[in-house]
Amino acid sequence: MRRSRLSPERERELYEAVVELLGEVGYDGLTMDAVAARTRSSKATLYRQWKGKPQLVATALRHTKPVLLEGVDTGSLRGDLREIARCSETAHERDAALMRGLAHASHDNPDLHQALRELLIFPEIDALHALLRRAVDRGEVAPDRPALNYVIHMMCGAFITRPLVEGKQPDETYLLEYIDAVILPALGAA
């Protein structure tokens, strides 16, 4: 395996440096030269280990920001969603500016867009699908309920619309209310 050349500690150090740089200069301002300098690596090593800047950035985020939804399993759908709301608030405060910058940059960088989807978004979606499958298995949601395909859409709507419309951050109280008002009724699980 190519990656075995770097120790896990060294990889972790490198990923943290990339995310740090990203917060300082943004995606467009981040250069492989700067990453090499900050981490005292050669650019050749960086390109050998990762295909390029989009992959390096997405992999760094993937390893330093733990998947939000993985491991959430309280035994009920409502419990799971409420736990996500609690974790989301913290994650959102920490990463909002970083993620906003990346979302903006990804519109002009198809490679970054693709890397973010594969390395950051798809794992969250997989974890969400597993969580919903358990709810269906427990009989909380009908297996053919159409809203099962749109839980991520409802959740994103909650996060993005609040600052836009109300000029406020999505805090825990708001998210818990949204779960009971929107997500559970749409799933027929209220």
Residue 103 in contact with its own copies, rule: CB under 8 A:
yes
Rounded to the nearest 5 percent, the helix, strand and coil shares of the chain are 80, 0, 20
Helices 32-39, 53-64: crossing angle, 10 deg rounding: 50
CA dist 157 and 177 (Å) reads: 14
At position 188, the amino acid (one-letter code) is G
- What residues from 70 to 99 belong to the interface with its own copies (CB under 8 A)? 97
36 versus 154: smaller Cβ distance to its own copies? 154
Residue list 126-185, contact with its own copies (CB under 8 A): 146-147, 149-150, 152-158, 160-162, 164-165, 167, 177-178, 180-182, 185
Q: C-beta of 165: minimal distance to its own copies in Å? A: 6
- Please give the single-letter amino acid code of residue 110: P
Residue 53 vs 113, nearer CB to its own copies: 113
If binding means CB under 8 A, how many residues of this protein chain bind its own copies?
Answer: 34
Helices assigned H by DSSP within 2-76: 8-29, 32-39, 43-49, 53-64
Residues that bind its own copies (CB under 8 A): 97, 100, 103-104, 107, 113, 117, 121, 125, 146-147, 149-150, 152-158, 160-162, 164-165, 167, 177-178, 180-182, 185-186, 188
